[in-house]
């Protein structure tokens, strides 16, 4: 197993609560996941990333941790995790866990101690307690807002306030306190010693806040709340811990920072291996927007010498099959709320959305780098908008009084079997309903039905994952111009990926001298790229590359620019880094 296994890996995110329920309590669990590893092996994934499954009151479904070194009983036991890791490893599948270090649960022993201790005590110093403003300290210490809506401060009985970037049940740690630093060293080692191959780091840019905690100006990006320079010392420390192990352990960050330069700081050789490329996830179905996002990521990759971690979906956004079937908003996402671009309400043409989502997946898989898939994406599952209000549990829904739908709709338990109760999520004997109700139409997306068809979304995903490394190679891409504004096409190694973003078919340019090998839709004799679809081709005669002139224009009129980990050599190399969108 190579040390840089993640460089072109396909990593599958498991939202454990909703993946598969073995014990029939309506909540997915580790044993359920282990029982479904065949599905993941057949899909062809190299690793899984488990959302947090530690002891938690589940106010934010595991992102509120009360004990970092124990499995929540609703998900199973330490033995179940051991069995999962052993089984996954025996299939060549690595296991990543989720490191939530910005905050814990208000039920964590340290926070209980802090509440029980006096202002100014050592116990309080592990968190961000402050006196309030106003005559009696009745006003919060500053005007910072929680990511989930409302004030980021909650008052305790003795009058002090504590800071929480998210829900009030998720108090932020004080990372300037050495207890906190040393505690997390121990947590990392605890799981690494149990064979865990790495971590996804939750809100990795958030651990430190400007210690003066100044009021935020306006309602734009709150620079004092995120991306403080001290955070890098922590990741250097964690990387060093990871390299104590053989093979070295891997870290991928969930990082939202305003510029490519700021992001690059996290990805230096002695910090994190990767960060998610959310820039692609927030783009509409539009060729130039997608191409620009890809270019930015590859420029970034070149700067840090490591490949991007592409993703179109996760447990925090609406599912791509729905997003791509909705009205496409071509305006740039709001700098203050990028993620909202991926969580819009609105009717969706699901047949169109699924078609585009399959094409977008083939696009990602053709690019140099790692691809993160979110469970259910391989089934083309849409967002569930029609959940009853009373079933919703997301703190975003609760804290916004229903103004924002939040994230429950992408977390509905998976349909495995069209004919069985709970669509095979829980055992047939189960008496508890799934923790979120599954709509009847989930039957149409069940894995067992898709298993039987060569045309299913699942079949396309399997073929694309299996064919990715045979078709594409190398760290660079050459953009190919075709004269069609709706066509995005690039060459990587001897493979060409062409995505038709338009509503009419486009002829495969003959100058490519390439044979179609795979399509997200039927490709017939391979001479056409159907509407809203992707086609992979392999070059049969190598004229396409060799005829590109020094001005980037081939005799055939094709223009070509190269971007990649070894550096851009076309017009894109002049791209200013502040062309990157502003993330919150
Ligand atoms: C996770 C969310 C979680 C939040 C607070 C995130 O970015 O992905 O699911 O609610 O951090 O931990």
pLDDT in tens, 304-353: 989 999 999 999 999 999 999 999 998 877 656 678 889 999 999 999 99
Pocket test for ligand 1, best of 17, 51, 59, 63 (most atoms within 8 A of CB): 63
Check pocket membership of 100 for ligand 1, CB cut-off 6 A.
yes
Inform me whether the pLDDT recorded for 505 exceeds 80.
yes
pLDDT digits 0-9 by tens, 92-129: 999 999 999 999 999 999 999 999 999 999 999 999 99
Beta bridge partner(s), residue 11: 47, 372
How far apart, in whole angstroms, are the C-alpha atoms of residue 309 and residue 239?
18
Question: According to the model, what pLDDT value does residue 218 have?
Answer: 80
Q: Is residue 299 part of a domain?
A: no
Pick the atom of ligand 1 nearest to 103's CA: 12
Per-residue pLDDT, 305? 87
Asked whether residue 291 is assigned to any structural domain, the reply reads no
CB neighbour class for 48 (10 Å; exposed up to 12, middle 13-18, buried from 19): buried
Q: In angstroms, what is the span from residue 148 Cα to ligand 1's centroid?
A: 10
| Buried-exposed string 501-531: b where 16+ CB fall within 10 A, e elsewhere | beeebbebbebbbbebbbbbbebeeeebbbb
| Minimum mean pLDDT range among 3-12, 195-204, 523-532 | 3-12
State residue 543's pLDDT score. 61
Angle at Cα 99 formed by Cα 64 and Cα 8, nearest 5°? 140
* Top mutation candidate among 173, 202, 281 for ligand 1, by most atoms within 8 Å of CB: 202
Report the C-alpha gap between 320 and 314 in whole angstroms.
10
Give how many domains the chain has, as a whole number.
3
Find the domain containing 491 and state its range.
476-565
Angle at 68 between CA 33 and CA 172, to 5 degrees: 120
Helix, strand, coil shares, percent, the chain, to 5: 30, 15, 50
Q: Whose CA is nearest to atom 3 of ligand 1?
A: 63
Return the percentage of the chain with pLDDT > 90, whole number: 86
Instruction: Give the CATH number of the domain where residue 120 resides.
Output: 3.90.400.10
Residue 567: the pLDDT is: 35
Residue 390 has pLDDT above 60, yes or no: yes
Nearest CA, atom 12, ligand 1 = 63
Q: Check if 203 has its Cβ closer than 6 Å to any atom of ligand 1.
A: yes
Residues 486 and 544 in one domain: yes
Tell me which residue of 214, 199, 228 sits closest to 47, measured CA to CA: 199
Confidence of residue 482 (pLDDT cuts 50, 70, 90): confident
In sequence order, the β-bridge partners of residue 310 are: 277, 371
- Count the Cβ atoms, other than its own, within 10 Å of residue 90: 10
- Which residues on adjacent β-strands are paired with residue 487? 500
Can 244 be counted among the known catalytic residues?
yes
Residue nearest atom 5 of ligand 1, based on CA coordinates: 63
For residue 41, what pLDDT band results from cuts at 50, 70 and 90?
Answer: very high
Tell me whether residue 157 is in a domain: yes
66 domain-assigned: no
CA 332 to centroid of ligand 1, rounded, Å: 23
CA-nearest of 293, 298, 244, 233 to 268 is 233
Q: What does 451-518 look like in DSSP terms, one character per residue?
A: HT-TTSHHHHHHHHHHHHHHH--SSEEEEE--S-TTEEEEEETTEEEEEE-SSS-EEPPGGG-EEEEE
Same domain, 423 and 480: no
Confidence of residue 2 (pLDDT cuts 50, 70, 90): very low
State whether the beta carbon of 394 lies less than 6 angstroms from ligand 1: no
Q: Where are the alpha helices (DSSP H) in 255-286?
A: 260-266, 278-281
203 Cα nearest atom in ligand 1: 7
- The string of pLDDT tens digits covering residues 405-437 is 999 999 999 999 999 999 999 999 998 999 999
Q: Which atom of ligand 1 is nearest to the CA of 314?
A: 8
467 DSSP 8-state letter: H
Helices (H) and strands (E) in the chain, counts: 15, 21
CATH (domain of 532): 2.60.40.1180
- Joined together, the tokens standing for residue 100 give 């939530």
Q: In this predicted model, what pLDDT tens digit does every residue of 62-94 receive, in sequence order?
A: 999 999 999 999 999 999 999 999 999 999 999
- Whether residue 254 has its Cβ less than 6 Å from ligand 1: yes
Confirm or reject: Cβ of 98 under 6 Å from ligand 1.
no
Confidence (pLDDT) at 563? 62
- CA–CA separation, 145 and 379 (whole Å): 37
> Is residue 25 annotated as part of the catalytic site, yes or no?
no
Give the percent of the chain with pLDDT over 70. Answer: 92
Reported as a single tens digit per residue, the pLDDT across 249-285 is: 999 999 999 888 999 999 999 999 999 999 999 999 9
For residues 494 and 428, membership in a common domain is answered with no
Q: Please give the model's pTM, rounded to 2 decimal places.
A: 0.94
What is the rounded average pLDDT of the residues 173-178? 98
Sequence-distant (6+) residues with CB within 8 A of 278 are 256, 311, 338, 339, 583
Q: Is 63 in the pocket of ligand 1 (CB under 6 A)?
A: yes
pLDDT confidence of residue 340: 81
Q: How confident is the model at residue 392 (pLDDT cuts 50, 70, 90)?
A: very high
Confidence of residue 47 (pLDDT cuts 50, 70, 90): very high
71 Cβ contact partners less than 8 Å away, ≥ 6 residues apart: 30, 53, 54, 55, 77, 78, 80, 81
Q: How far apart are CA 416 and CA 446, in angstroms?
A: 5
Q: Is 106 in the pocket of ligand 1 (CB under 6 A)?
A: no
Tokens of 115: 């509440």
**Quick one: CA torsion of 416, 418, 424, 429, rounded to 10 degrees?**
-170
Last residue of a domain, one of 172, 206, 231: 172
- 83 class by beta-carbon count within 10 Å (0-12 exposed, 13-18 middle, 19+ buried): middle
Region 174-183: mean pLDDT is 98
The atom of ligand 1 lying closest to the CA of 395 is: 10
For residue 15, report the distance from its CA to the centre of ligand 1, in Å: 12
The active-site residue, picked from 172, 202, 227, 316, is 202
Give a yes or no: residue 362 inside a domain.
Answer: no
Residues 10 and 48: beta-carbon distance below 8 Å = no
- Distance CA(335)–CA(408), nearest Å, equals 24
User: Which of the residues 244, 327, 470, 542 is marked catalytic?
Assistant: 244
DSSP state of 218: T
**316 CB near ligand 1 (under 6 Å):** yes
**Is residue 482 domain-shared with residue 432, that is, in the same domain?**
no
Which of 382, 413, 438 lies at the terminal end of a domain, its last residue? 438
Mean pLDDT of 41-54: 98
Confidence (pLDDT) at 3: 55
Is residue 516 one of the residues assigned to a domain?
A: yes
The rounded Cα 414 to chain-centroid distance in angstroms is: 18
| Ligand 1 atom at shortest distance from the alpha carbon of 148 | 10
| Residue 54: predicted pLDDT | 98
Ligand 1 centroid, distance to 201 Cα (angstroms): 10
The distance of Cα 468 from the centroid of its chain, to the nearest Å, equals 20
Ligand 1 atom having least distance to the Cα of 60: 10
Report yes or no on 447 lying in a domain: no
User: Per residue in 520-579, pLDDT tens?
Assistant: 999 999 999 999 999 999 999 876 453 333 333 332 233 445 665 543 333 232 222 333
- Residue 448 forms part of a structural domain: no
473 CB-near residues (< 8 Å, 6+ apart):
492, 493, 494, 495
396 lines ligand 1 (CB under 6 A): no
């Amino acid at each position: 197993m190579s040390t840089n296994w993640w460089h072109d890996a396909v990593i599958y995110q498991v939202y454990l609560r909703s993946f598969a329920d073995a014990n029939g309590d309506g909540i997915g669990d580790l044993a359920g996941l282990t029982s479904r590893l065949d599905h993941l092996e057949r899909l062809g994934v190299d690793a899984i990333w488990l959302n947090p499954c530690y002891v938690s009151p589940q106010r934010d479904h595991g992102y509120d941790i009360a004990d970092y070194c124990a499995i929540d009983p609703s998900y199973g036991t330490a033995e179940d995790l051991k069995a999962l890791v052993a089984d996954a490893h025996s299939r060549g599948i690595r296991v990543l866990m989720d490191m939530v270090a910005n905050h814990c649960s208000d039920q964590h022993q340290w926070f209980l101690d802090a509440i029980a201790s006096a202002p100014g005590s050592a116990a309080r110093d592990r968190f961000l307690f402050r006196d309030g403003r106003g005559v009696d300290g009745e006003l919060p210490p500053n005007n910072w807002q929680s990511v989930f809506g409302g004030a980021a401060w909650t008052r305790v009985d003795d009058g002090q306030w504590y800071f929480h970037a998210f829900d009030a049940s998720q108090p932020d740690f004080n990372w300037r306190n050495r207890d906190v630093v040393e505690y997390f060293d121990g947590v990392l080692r605890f799981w690494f010693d149990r064979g865990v191959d790495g971590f996804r780091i939750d809100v990795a840019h958030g651990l430190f806040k400007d210690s003066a905690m100044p009021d935020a100006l306006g309602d734009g990006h709150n620079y004092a709340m995120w991306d403080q320079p001290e955070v890098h010392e922590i990741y250097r420390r964690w990387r060093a811990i990871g390299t104590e192990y053989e093979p070295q352990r891997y870290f991928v960050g969930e990082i939202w920072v305003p510029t490519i330069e700021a992001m690059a700081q996290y990805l230096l050789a002695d910090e994190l291996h990767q960060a998610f490329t959310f820039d692609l996830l927030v783009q509409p179905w539009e060729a130039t927007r997608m191409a620009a996002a890809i270019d930015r990521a590859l420029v970034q990759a070149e700067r840090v010498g490591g490949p991007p971690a592409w993703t179109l979906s996760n447990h925090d956004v609406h599912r791509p099959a729905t997003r791509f079937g909705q009205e496409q908003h071509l305006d740039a996402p709001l700098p203050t709320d990028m993620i909202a671009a991926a969580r819009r309400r609105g009717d969706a043409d699901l047949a169109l959305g699924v078609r585009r989502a399959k094409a977008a997946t083939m696009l990602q898989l053709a690019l140099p780098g790692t691809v993160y898939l979110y469970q259910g994406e391989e089934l083309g599952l849409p967002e569930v908008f029609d959940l009853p209000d009373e079933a919703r549990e997301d703190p975003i829904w609760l804290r916004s009084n229903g103004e924002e739908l939040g994230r429950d709709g992408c977390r509905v338990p998976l349909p495995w079997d069209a004919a069985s109760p709970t669509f095979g999520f829980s055992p047939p004997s189960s008496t508890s309903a799934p923790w979120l109700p599954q709509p009847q139409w989930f039957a149409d997306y069940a894995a067992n039905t898709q298993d039987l068809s060569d045309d299913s979304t699942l079949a396309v995903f399997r073929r694309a994952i299996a064919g990715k490394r045979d078709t594409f190679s190398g760290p660079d891409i050459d953009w190919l111009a075709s004269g069609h504004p709706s066509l995005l096409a690039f060459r990587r190694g001897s493979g060409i990926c062409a995505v038709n973003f338009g509503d009419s078919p486009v002829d495969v340019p003959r100058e490519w001298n390439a044979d179609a090998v795979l399509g997200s839709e039927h490709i017939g004799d391979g001479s056409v790229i159907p509407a809203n679809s992707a086609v992979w081709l392999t070059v049969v005669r190598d004229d396409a590359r060799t005829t590109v002139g020094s001005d980037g224009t081939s005799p055939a009129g094709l223009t070509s620019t190269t971007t990649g980990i070894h550096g851009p050599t076309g017009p894109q190399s002049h791209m200013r880094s502040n062309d990157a969108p502003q993330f919150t």
